[in-house]
Homo-oligomer: A and B are copies of this chain.
Amino acid sequence: MRIFYEPSLSPEQTTIHLNQDDSKHAIKVLRLKNGDEVLLTDGKGYFYESVISDSNPKKCLLEIVKVEKQEKNQSYSVHIAIAPTKNMDRIEYFVEKAAEFGIDQITFFTSKNSERKVLKVDRIERILVSAIKQSKKAYLPIISELQPFEACLKNIQESERFIAYVPENPEHHFFKELPKSTESIIFVGPEGGFTPEEIELAKSYNVKPVSLGNSRLRTETAGIASCQIIHLKNL
């Protein structure tokens, strides 16, 4: 069954109008009719089973018949802070892959060597919406607007904090340093890497430099690698 994403939904609602794009898609493309079932999610953990009561292709009306919370069965969370790459395809690729592995939050930041200083978050959100629809998840990962590195450091909520850094000591591999069952964040730098000053700044916020292995990884690969490492650590 096709899932529609309606971020405005809340569990108390008994009816909802699909937005114009989704109304058109449901009625004109999928050719749904009055009485047909539609599944909705608010991206905040709820699924809404509903039935079409007015198949208006501009403003399709649905009656919600059942609301169900999707339990998060994870004992850990995945938060990756990443400097968007110069090439937009590469950062979109990271987002797509992270959504496949499963991610709770993506924070975008700019640092000294960032080549990209502007980011259209709406394109990123569309990739995430499409991913939760495909994988039938009720949680949309949280994403932030692009912000300066230090602002990110100041806002860290997680107790376990890491920064991917071509290391002085390659023994400190992220996979070994990350404890199980924790809320963690890892920072992944831009193509040019972090400066030594930025690493010192991170350390002053209790962020620990870690290695992602002997190979030099591109930014988006380091992001994907970090995401998978967190999941594997929590197997």
The A217-235 residues at the B interface (CB cut-off 8 A) are 217-218, 221, 224-225, 228-229, 231-232, 235
A100, A102, A221, A229 pick with most chain B CB within 10 angstroms: A100
- B229 A232 Cβ-Cβ under 8 A: yes
Chain B's closest residue to A74 (CB) is B214
- Check A76 for interface membership: any CB of B closer than 8 A: no
B-contact 0/1 string along A204-220, CB 8 Å cutoff? 00000000011111100
Chain B residues with Cβ below 8 Å from A218 are 100
- In the complex, whether A159 has a CB less than 8 A from a CB of chain B is no
| Distance to closest chain B CB from A234 (angstroms) | 10
Which residues of B have CB within 8 Å of A213? Answer: 101, 231, 235
A135 touching B215, Cβ below 8 Å: yes
Main secondary structure of the interface of A (DSSP, over half): helix
Closest Cβ–Cβ distance, residue A75 to chain B (whole Å):
13
* Partner pick for A235 among B135, B173, B221, CB 8 A cutoff: B173
A97 within 8 A of B: yes
Q: Which residues of B contact A216 (CB under 8 A)?
A: 100, 135
State in angstroms the CA–CA spacing of A216 and B135 once bound together: 7
Known contacts being A173-B235, A229-B232, A232-B175, is A215 close to B93, with CB within 8 Å?
no
Check A215 against B100 for contact (C-beta < 8 Å): yes
Residues of B within 8 A of A66 (CB): none
A229 to B235: give the CA distance in the assembly, Å: 12
Q: Are B235 and A175 in contact (CB under 8 A)?
A: yes
* In the assembled complex, A2 has its CB within 8 A of some CB on chain B: no
From B93, B101, B217, B232, give the contact of A100 (CB < 8 A): B217
Whether B97 pairs with A224 at a CB distance below 8 angstroms is yes
| Chain B nearest CB, measured from A59 CB (Å) | 33
A97 engages B221 (CB within 8 Å): yes
Q: Assess whether B232 is in contact with A101, with CB atoms less than 8 Å apart.
A: no
28 contacts between A and B (CB under 8 A): A93-B93, A97-B221, A100-B215, A100-B216, A100-B217, A100-B218, A100-B221, A101-B213, A101-B215, A101-B217, A101-B221, A101-B225, A102-B214, A102-B215, A135-B215, A135-B216, A173-B235, A175-B232, A175-B235, A176-B235, A213-B231, A213-B235, A224-B224, A225-B228, A228-B228, A228-B229, A229-B232, A232-B232
